[in-house]
A and B are shown apart, each in its own frame.
Chain A
């Protein structure tokens, strides 16, 4: 990443560096060009001067000849002398100018030019003094005499000088002219050189300028592309941040959020105030103070160079946090969030930022929990199945029916009207008794799952019993638990039904579990399990009621297989009924001068050739004739007119009527109606009949006559 920064800087600096270099080169080139141009100009001037001078030696000759002839003809020679003087001065001046131009043209030190220049000077130096001598005379050259003019001393001297000058003139033309010709040639070359050099500089300059233009175009193109790239990258980042489902944000060294974060972040955190906020402030409303402190410590660990970020993932306290958000419609909503943090690579050795990622993992957590729940449910189901398999099948079926009936009754008790405190309390007691009885049975059969549920229900009821004021609403949890219990029981019932399908025919009393698996049924043949079961039912029911009862059985081992199941179901029902509703509490029995342990008898006998008699009796309080009639009237089971005409046996028969065995009645101790309609129906289906004998305060006896079993009985009506 450091390299990346370097590239970035270079990319910015390069055009500047190139432009500066090129400008310097161009300046140098132009300066040289200007110099060359001015040198060229000077060389040209020098050349021109030299060319002009070339005619001067000839001119001196002409003028000197004019002077000579004038002197001979004694004419005026002042004019040509003046010309010579002017021309000689001009030559000197021209030489000075040539020197100046040569210097300016950079030829002052050129060996060849200097040599030529030296030769010119030498030639001129030989000739110039002669000219000076010619022009140096003053005064008239002639002395006028009568015989005419003749040369005077000045004239003669002048003539001598002119002759000398003329004599040297040919040499001078050759020497001075030759030197000037060489100089002109040398200068020609120099002008050519300077011109070529100037052209070269201008060409190079043009090339450099062109190159600079191309480079500038390239850089400008590149920079435009780079800025277009940057804009595109910015747009893409914005797209990513706008689309990504996770809340992304950057934390600086102070653990503050910056201006860049994903659009999901405010949504996930349920707050719009995200920008430039301190992370701690953002987190504070979401987590407990302790978690907050730990979380801030954790995030700070990421700045520590020594800590490997992958190796501290597991201690992230924000890995999964449950947070509460206020719902718009009031109340709060529970969500699960997961925060993760990564060091942002680059931008300095240790990084300037941490990348924070927050995800709403509520769905994931819920699915995980559901999965766990379903695993637990499966395990519970498996446990239940194992429990159920250990229970002898017939006992299980009987239990399910009994329990179902008891729970339905409890439900009915809860549903019936009654808002008065005493009514509510009566309901409570009724349900409590039912529940307690079933719980005892479930415990006896080792059905832990049911027993646990019943126990919970009982706890709820017990808590209600403790309360001084009972309100209708207090029953709601009881109803809910009861409902759950009933559906659980229904599940067990379904399982029992399925078991029935796989039961070996004619062996319905046996558990499907091999004896080794189920200890209870070992030796089942020697001692009929029904008797054991009834003893248990009586014992448990009595204990639950605070009563004392003893069971006596006879002939139960002789029940033909076809009747085993039906008899089993009937006797369990009726034995419990006998304890719960038939017999009195010890104090009641004491008041009636009875033994405090009540007797419950169950017998199965062959009755001649036509069938069997099943008897269930108790030495309790007998059937309450008046109250049965009252109840039947209130329930509309009989009309008042019928009631007036009804015989006692018919009145007792009412307790077998469906709809009679209501909760209201059985909340009273004297009641008797726990599913008696179901018993009666079973007996009828078997083709039998039920007879009742009772004496108030003394006993109740049910005699069920069953026909001879021809075929194995159909499955007892469920």
Chain B
């Protein structure tokens, strides 16, 4: 039945708590979570395997940060929709991620509703 779901979501965040929060909060019917990754390298490996269409992306992560990961994911799949989820410490960094091909930004901390609204818009974009 999962195969019928139209959108495949990958969660990238170095915080276990944050990954679980996103997993639990997401309740859009036609979105299937295909995996979670703790840094950019894991995300790229997972992408090759799970072929996500949607990504939530933390910016500050060890090994490979979110900006580089966004760039590489978009390089592999220009149609991939990436929602950057990060604390709003530095707007310039968020803007850089958007320039590299992310589609939107969600500010931590967020509510369940804000996350779902953002994902719906991400699918629209």
Contacts and interface: CB of A to CB of B under 8 A. Distances in A.
Given A306-B81, A306-B101, A306-B125, A311 B106 contact: yes
B15 to A, nearest CB: 20
Q: Bin chain B's interface residue count.
A: 20 to 34
A317 B107 CA distance: 14
B91 A317 contact: yes
Contacts of A1: none
B99 interface: yes
B99 A311 contact: no
B83 interface: yes
Nearest to A301: B98
Contacts of B124: 308
B95 A294 contact: yes
Contact of B107 (A307, A310, A314): A314
B46 interface: no
A304 B96 CA distance: 13
B91 A307 contact: no
Interface residues of A, number: 17
B95 A298 contact: yes
A419 interface: no
Nearest to A308: B125
A314 B88 contact: yes
Interface in A218-239: none
A482 to B, nearest CB: 40
B54 interface: no
Interface in B92-125: 92, 94-96, 98-99, 101-107, 118, 121-122, 124-125
Most A C-beta atoms less than 10 A away, residue of B96, B98, B118: B98
Contacts of B81: 306
B107 A311 contact: no
B103 A311 contact: yes
Given A301-B99, A308-B104, A311-B103, A294 B91 contact: yes
A111 interface: no
Contacts of B96: 297
Most B C-beta atoms less than 10 A away, residue of A294, A300, A308, A316: A308
Nearest to A290: B92
Given A307-B98, A308-B125, A314 B92 contact: no
A311 B121 contact: yes
B121 A310 contact: yes
Nearest to B117: A310
Interface string A678-695: 000000000000000000
Interface in A387-416: none
A307 B82 CA distance: 9
Contacts of B94: 315
A312 interface: yes
B103 A306 contact: yes
Chain A residues touching B, majority SS = helix
B105 A311 contact: yes
A308 B88 contact: no
Contacts of B121: 308, 310-311
A301 B97 CA distance: 11
Most B C-beta atoms less than 10 A away, residue of A304, A311, A314: A311
Contacts of A315: 88, 91, 94-95, 98, 105
Contacts of A317: 91-92, 95
B95 A297 contact: yes
Contact of A314 (B99, B105, B122, B125): B105
A355 to B, nearest CB: 19
Contacts of B101: 306
A211 B124 CA distance: 51
A307 B125 contact: yes
A311 B91 contact: no
Nearest to A305: B125
Given A297-B99, A298-B95, A306-B103, A311 B88 contact: no
B92 A311 contact: no
Nearest to B78: A306
A537 B8 CA distance: 73
B37 to A, nearest CB: 21
Contacts of A310: 104, 121
B79 to A, nearest CB: 9
Contacts of A294: 91-92, 95
A312 B125 contact: no
Nearest to A312: B105
B95 A311 contact: no
A316 B105 CA distance: 11
B53 to A, nearest CB: 13
A317 B102 CA distance: 17
A297 B91 CA distance: 11
Contact of A308 (B91, B99, B107, B122): B122
Nearest to A316: B91
Interface string A549-565: 00000000000000000
Nearest to B106: A311
Interface in B43-99: 81, 83, 88, 91-92, 94-96, 98-99
A311 B118 CA distance: 7
Interface string A517-533: 00000000000000000
A308 B95 contact: no
Interface in A288-332: 290, 294, 297-298, 300-301, 304, 306-308, 310-312, 314-317
Given A301-B98, A306-B101, A312-B104, 4 more contacts: A297-B96, A304-B98, A311-B122, A315-B95
8 contacts: A306-B101, A310-B121, A311-B83, A311-B103, A312-B98, A314-B106, A317-B91, A317-B95
Listed from nearest, the 9 A-B pairs whose CB atoms lie closest are: A311-B104, A308-B125, A315-B94, A315-B91, A294-B92, A308-B104, A314-B107, A308-B121, A317-B91
Interface of B: 81, 83, 88, 91-92, 94-96, 98-99, 101-107, 118, 121-122, 124-125
